[in-house]
Amino acid sequence: MFAFQGGRNKLRHWLTLLSGLVESLFFTGLAFGWASLVFVLKIDGYFAGHCANTTREEDYAVHIDCQDEHFPLVISVASIANTIIRFPIGYVFDSCGTTVTRLIAIFLYTIGTLFISLSNTATSVLLYPAMSCLITSGTILHLTNVQVGNLFDNYRSTVINIYNGAYDSSAAVFLIIKLLHERGVSLHSSFFFLTSCSVIHFLRTFFLMPRGHIPYPLPETFTYGIGCPGQSRGKGEAENKMKEVDVKKDQKHKRADDETPAPYLLQKTLQEPKQEQATFQSCVMSWLFLWHLVWVVTILFCQVIFLSTVNPMLTRLANNDQTLVSHYTNAFAFTQLCGVLVAPINGLIMDRYKRKPLAPGETKREADLRSSSLALFLTSLQCFLFCVCFACPVLPLQYLTFILQVVNSAFFYGGHQAFVSIAYLPNVSFWKMSGVAMSLSALVLLLQLPIHHFIQHLLHGDPLYVNVGVTLVSLFAFIHPLHVSLYCRKLGKQRKTEREVNEQQSAKC
């Protein structure tokens, strides 16, 4: 199905792809299963001791309210920490390479799982650093896996989206922990087992991942990992580093001709002056990136608000019937398993032009952007619809909410990464551009903290008005696909005008 750039390392490429899929499926997006873990933590009495003294009749209800106040804050703080660290991690990844970045992730993963393993009701506050470490480590591992898409040319966006679907579906791990807990396996035993899985990450880091980066496009002789035939890891990586630099230079020279920024297209003459390459600052300050930032912030805000309030919402709609809450929590977790099946659809939408010839004078980047506008629009529409369903206080309707949320999450993360790689590679580092978008979104995610306080203390735990407000906010996501569509149309008109001018000048000559 997939076409490789070279033939000598097919087996290694496949092992990297499949092992990365397993890693993404079981270790990267654990936080998406937060609703399942919260159910277990409530049963074990986490944060119940932080409540004020009550009479026996009021004790259960007050404990539930107190827990519902703390658990959303745990996931909110972890989400904010995760987004803040994206840009620094992107810089480390760009500067130090894959091995160093993954070792940081493995360290955080081990700390996070150990903290939960050693925690109890008296040390419930350990959940704050534990979940922050766990979410951040999963994100870093996922980011290092995204580059595996560079091993596959025509299906690059599809591979990225498959990995993002697996990232979403890893929520099933907390569902498994919940089901095991119901059968007598303690929470601590489950997390001790997850801690021991750090060995798997170590082995994959050194045997199936590069020390530096996987370049795009991929040189035919590119090798990586320990045990490459005929050369040591150090020598192979040094050669690959030089090839990676050469590839970037060739790509920049090529795109200087066919992907000049729009304001300069009409200034070309037959003897063209030297073009100025785009800088990181100019890309960050461009309208294309700013509207993409709005799109990222809007959808991420809606997703995190949903994940942090879904358990209290289900508890409220089920009138504290824990059997019913458990049923809907399981339904949500099983729905999340489908993320890995849905995500490739977005990749196929973004890759669909690659099996068609380009229009006369059209660049590959322009065709990619044109294809991405549909995927961006569908993602925005999914976000709006799932917010509408979640805002309706009808318990059976939440089945549809779960489906829409999972589809939207799968489309969002893959769409964000694919769009950044399309719009800015190779002139600007993908990791920096992707990281700065997520880090800046942390400023908006800080609003979660007063929002949760507002729900608990002023709305008495009823998030209806907040959910309606979040639904209205989700409409901002539609601006980005509209802007991309207009931008591509403008490029097409300028390309046509430029071709006509060149034809006239050629005729005169």
Q: Which two tokens stand for residue 446?
A: 């800080």
Residues in contact with 426: Cβ distance below 8 Å, sequence separation at least 6, in sequence order: 216, 247, 248, 251, 252, 255
Q: What average pLDDT is seen over the chain?
A: 81
State the pLDDT at residue 447.
Answer: 87
420-457 per-position pLDDT tens digit = 888 876 667 777 787 888 888 888 888 888 998 888 88
Instruction: Considering only residues 35 and 232, tell me which one the structure prediction assigns the higher pLDDT.
Output: 35
Name residue 4's beta-bridge partners. 152
Query: Is the bond into 360 cis (omega within 30 degrees of 0)?
Result: no
The residue-averaged pLDDT of 247-267 equals: 43
- Alpha carbons 323 and 248: distance in angstroms, whole number: 57
354-387 per-position pLDDT tens digit = 767 777 777 778 888 888 899 999 999 999 999 9
14-63 per-position pLDDT tens digit = 889 999 999 999 999 888 899 899 999 989 989 887 665 444 444 444 45
- Residue pair 172/36 in contact (Cβ under 8 Å)? The answer is no
Q: Which two tokens stand for residue 454?
A: 């507002």
State the pLDDT at residue 227.
Answer: 57
Q: Which two tokens stand for residue 471?
A: 């639904």
Residues in contact with 233: Cβ distance below 8 Å, sequence separation at least 6, in sequence order: 211, 225, 226
What are the backbone angles phi and psi of residue 285, rounded to the nearest 5°? Answer: -90, 0
* Residue 121 neighbours by CB distance under 10 Å: 13
Question: What Rg do the C-alpha atoms of the chain give, in angstroms?
Answer: 24
Q: What is the pTM of this model?
A: 0.76
Placement of tokens 């639904």 in the chain: 471
- Alpha carbons 80 and 136: distance in angstroms, whole number: 10
Percent of the chain at pLDDT exceeding 90: 38
State the pLDDT at residue 132.
Answer: 94
- Alpha carbons 129 and 117: distance in angstroms, whole number: 13
- Alpha carbons 480 and 405: distance in angstroms, whole number: 20
Above 50 in pLDDT, residue 274?
no
| Confidence band of 119 (pLDDT split at 50, 70, 90) | very high
Q: Which is nearest to 302 in space by CA: 399, 390, 418, 393?
A: 390
State the pLDDT at residue 259.
Answer: 42
- Alpha carbons 126 and 156: distance in angstroms, whole number: 39
List C-alpha distances in Å: 333 to 34, 299, 339, 441, 477: 9, 20, 10, 26, 26
In terms of average pLDDT, the best of 9-18, 60-69, 95-104 is 95-104
Could you tell me the residue ranges of all domains in the chain? 10-226+243-258+278-496
In this structure, of 237-251, 363-377, 409-423, 488-502, the range with the lowest mean pLDDT score is 237-251
Taking the CA of residue 380 as centre, how many other CA atoms within 13 Å lie in the half-sphere pointing to its CB?
A: 24
- Return the amino acid letter for 33: G
Q: Which is nearest to 30 in space by CA: 98, 101, 79?
A: 79
Name residue 143's beta-bridge partners. none
Above 90 in pLDDT, residue 10?
no
State the pLDDT at residue 441.
Answer: 86
Above 70 in pLDDT, residue 390?
yes
| Confidence band of 293 (pLDDT split at 50, 70, 90) | very high
Percent of the chain at pLDDT exceeding 70: 83
Name residue 152's beta-bridge partners. 4
- Alpha carbons 23 and 26: distance in angstroms, whole number: 6
State the pLDDT at residue 110.
Answer: 96
| Confidence band of 267 (pLDDT split at 50, 70, 90) | very low
State the pLDDT at residue 442.
Answer: 84
State the pLDDT at residue 427.
Answer: 64
Q: Which is nearest to 300 in space by CA: 86, 45, 53?
A: 86
| Confidence band of 87 (pLDDT split at 50, 70, 90) | confident
450-493 per-position pLDDT tens digit = 998 888 888 888 888 999 999 999 999 999 999 999 988 888 88
Above 60 in pLDDT, residue 64?
no
Instruction: Considering only residues 414 and 105, tell me which one the structure prediction assigns the higher pLDDT.
Output: 105
In this structure, of 75-89, 116-130, 222-236, 360-374, the range with the lowest mean pLDDT score is 222-236
The residue-averaged pLDDT of 287-291 equals: 91
Above 70 in pLDDT, residue 248?
no
- Residue pair 44/186 in contact (Cβ under 8 Å)? The answer is no
Q: Residues 10-226+243-258+278-496: name the CATH superfamily.
A: MFS general substrate transporter like domains (1.20.1250.20)
Instruction: Considering only residues 296 and 5, tell me which one the structure prediction assigns the higher pLDDT.
Output: 296
State the pLDDT at residue 507.
Answer: 76
| Confidence band of 7 (pLDDT split at 50, 70, 90) | low
State the pLDDT at residue 61.
Answer: 47
Query: Is the bond into 217 cis (omega within 30 degrees of 0)?
Result: yes
Above 50 in pLDDT, residue 505?
yes
Q: Which is nearest to 143 in space by CA: 379, 435, 358?
A: 435
Q: Which is nearest to 35 in space by CA: 133, 188, 185, 178?
A: 178
Taken in order 152, 153, 155, 156, the sign of the CA dihedral is positive
